[in-house]
Amino acid sequence: MKSATTRKKGFPLKTLLGFLGPGFLVTVGFVDPGNWATNIEGGSRFGYELLWVVTLGTIMLIIIQHMAAKLGIATGKSLAVNIREFFPKPVATFLGFTVLLACIATDVAELLGGGIGFSLLFGIPLWCGALLTILLEIFLIISQRYHRIETIIVGFLGIITFCYLIELLIVQPDWSAIAPALVVPKVNKNSIYVAMAILGALVMPHNIFLHSNVIHSRKWGISENEKMAQLRYEKIDTLFAMILGWVVNSSMIIVAAAVFFHNQVTVSTIEEASATLKPLAGPFAGLLFAIALVFSGIGSSMTSSMAEANVITGFLGKPEDPRTALYRLAVFLTAIPAFIVIVFSIDTFRILILSQVMLSIQLPFTLVPLLILCRNVKVMGAFRSRNIEFAAASVISGVVILLNLYFFYTTLTGGK
């Protein structure tokens, strides 16, 4: 095996291109149907007002996902395994249970989105579309090697991005109003619920666990020098992937604002958004909407199932290997509760929104252990989080917790 130094001097660009990928698996996880629901709700009800939440969430993502990947590089273990080994058993069990619930909530959003997409494209019942999404994601996970899965996911992300960029050209939004909304915070008792949901759809617990695991697909982080080199490439991968996710999520809100809010149209479901989009922006925009939704549902279902299997095997102390029976069983079993919810549910749009809020509520129980582990020199060694990084991550965690408290207050008081 060549050293990291040799790689860097030989073909640094080729090495970088070979490393790009783990961040994109995470990105497709927050360009998922849950984001569609929250972004459509935000854009149609409040125009461009909540774009800043996407910017804030992306900044959070860059810092948090980097720390998760760094933990994986430094320790050679995923976040799930590190929590199991570092924390007392009752605490580790509680944390594992909460993140598993968050993963199941994520599955509801992913499968529901895929089901709606197939229903819009082919006119099949929602439950059939959801079942088709499950079968496709299970097949793609258990029948492909990791790097092929990575290629598939990047391809899906490319299709989703292309569809939304074309939609931006079609709807012709007000860019002068968009620019300040991207960076100027604005929230009130009416928009806090949706703002929370958007944040929960961006900074997702299962993605933090997934990133710490899939980073191990690059097999040359053994010596400290190699790990340092790997970390440099990881930073570029994470930054590039997160910015791409920011573009797509911002585009979702912008399209909804330009089409629905501008025309004072109330949208209560994704299906209604598709149906309303066609007469307002043209049938081609509606077709692009459905195609992107299908690929979003399948791609995010794959990454969600991979994260669930990682959480289950990691917390049980079993090999995090897709070839093992437990890993494959976990991929299948964790989809069942979500499918049952979809079959017996009526208000699919509300379920999508609620699932994203559940992710935001769980998020502190993922962020705090991550911060503790990354700050511990016995765990991280030379990769221990420095003061600036730790302070930034602590502020992020504090913001998330305060938003949750505000959300609970406004919910309990009925928004008064």
Give the closest residue to 195 by CA, choosing from 350, 357, 58. 357
**Pick the residue with more confidence: 239 or 343?**
239
Query: Concatenated DSSP letters for 255-320?
Result: HHIIIIITTT----SHHHHHHHHHHHH-HHHHHHHHHHHHHHHHHHHHHHHHHHHHHHHHHHT---
Q: How far apart are CA 370 and CA 134, in angstroms?
A: 30
pLDDT tens digits, one per residue of 346-372:
666 677 667 767 777 788 899 999 999
Contacts of 292 (CB under 8 A, 6+ apart): 117, 159, 160, 163, 164
State residue 85's pLDDT score.
94
Give the type of residue at 63. I
pLDDT tens digits, one per residue of 217-248:
766 556 777 788 788 888 999 999 999 999 99
Q: Which own/partner contact pairs does 89-96 have at CB distance under 8 Å and 24+ positions apart?
A: 92/315, 93/315, 95/365, 95/366, 95/369, 96/311, 96/315
* pTM of the full structure: 0.85
Residue 55 has pLDDT above 60, yes or no: yes
Give the closest residue to 300 by CA, choosing from 89, 18, 105. 105
Q: How far apart are CA 217 and CA 239, in angstroms?
A: 18
Report percent pLDDT > 90 for the chain: 31
Contacts of 6 (CB under 8 A, 6+ apart): none
pLDDT tens digits, one per residue of 168-186:
988 889 999 999 999 999 8
Query: Concatenated DSSP letters for 387-399?
Result: HHHHHHHHHHHHH
Per the structure block, which two tokens stand in for 12?
A: 């640094």
Other CB atoms closer than 10 Å to residue 172's CB: what's the count?
9
> What kind and span of H or E run contains 34?
helix 33-46
Q: For the chain, how many structural domains are there in total?
A: 1
CATH number of the domain residue 83 falls in: 1.20.1740.10
* CA triple 244-246-249, angle to 5 deg: 110
What is each CA distance from 192 to 45, 50, 136, 224, 263, in whole angstroms? 12, 10, 36, 45, 23
Contact of 199 with 185, CB cutoff 8 Å: no
Query: Concatenated DSSP letters for 85-99?
Result: HHS-HHHHHHHHHHH
Residue 415 has pLDDT above 60, yes or no: no
Q: How far apart are CA 307 and CA 203, in angstroms?
A: 14
pLDDT tens digits, one per residue of 93-133:
999 999 988 888 888 878 888 888 888 888 888 889 989 98
State residue 410's pLDDT score.
67
Q: How far apart are CA 83 and CA 96, in angstroms?
A: 9
Domain ranges, residue 369: 4-412
State residue 407's pLDDT score.
67
pLDDT tens digits, one per residue of 197-224:
788 778 888 899 999 988 877 665 567 7
